[in-house]
Every structure is written in C-alpha cells, then in structure tokens.
Amino acid sequence: MRSNLAARNATKSFSDFNGTSVELAAIWSMDNPKFAAAFPGIKGCRYDSFSMQVGVPAGVILADRNALPVTRKVNYKKFGSKHVCDARCMGATGRTMNCECSCGGVNHGRGFLAEEI
Ligand SMILES: [Zn+2]
C-alpha cells in the first residue's frame, strides 16, 4: 500500500572516512568505546549518550565489521530545485545541513573535508 503522506524531506546520512564519502542506507548504534577504537579521531554523530551512529551503504551487510561512522546528516528536499552544486553546497557547515541541489547531499560540506586543489 502506498502512503499519500510521503515525506517531502529526507534525512540522509553520510560517512566521510578514509577519503571517501558515501551515503549510508542503514544506521545503527555502536558503543562509544568501540566506536573510538574502530574510528580513532573521527567525530561522528551521536546515537545517544552512550553510543555513536554507524551505518553501511546500500547492499552491504549490516554488521559491525562493515560499519562506517556517520559523520554528516543532510536534510534533503525531495522536490527542491535540484540546482547544480556551488560553493554554498561545498562549504556547508554543521552536523545537519539542508540541501536541495542535484548532488543529493553528497557534496555538502566536502569543501572542509577535501583540501584538494
Ligand atoms: Zn550539493
């Protein structure tokens, strides 16, 4: 059955780890000590006071050994303008960012992550 109440916005979770940015399809929690050991120095998104959010891209088995740290959340406007990404997109800051451009949030905030010229 299809719902007419389909959300107009979707919150996407991304992981920026080891030089790549991927959208995560499934999210779960990992205890803080375990997270710190698995991803040293990574400031991820909290799940609650005791755990952090981790996830896997679509098609990857949900298991801690495959987990990537959730480092960014982007509120994506499903019916937004889908304009081409610009500096505002790349330079977006904050743990939760709003996006309505064609990248779907992938590029948001990447300007601060990649120092490539
Ligand atoms: Zn963008």
3-51 per-position pLDDT tens digit: 444 567 889 999 999 888 899 999 999 999 999 999 999 999 999 999 9
Torsion sign over Cα 40, 28, 112, 49: negative
Structure pTM? 0.80
User: Measured in angstroms, how far is the CA atom of residue 22 from the centroid of ligand 1?
Assistant: 14
What's the pLDDT tens digit per position in 50-81?
999 999 999 999 999 999 999 999 988 888 88
Residues within 5 Å of ion ligand 1 by Cβ? 85, 89, 101, 103, 107
86 close to 55: Cβ distance less than 8 angstroms: no
User: Measured in angstroms, how far is the CA atom of residue 92 from the centroid of ligand 1?
Assistant: 9
User: Measured in angstroms, how far is the CA atom of residue 6 from the centroid of ligand 1?
Assistant: 23
List Cα–Cα distances, 114 to 28, 60, 71, 94, 110, in angstroms: 26, 25, 14, 16, 6
User: Measured in angstroms, how far is the CA atom of residue 12 from the centroid of ligand 1?
Assistant: 13
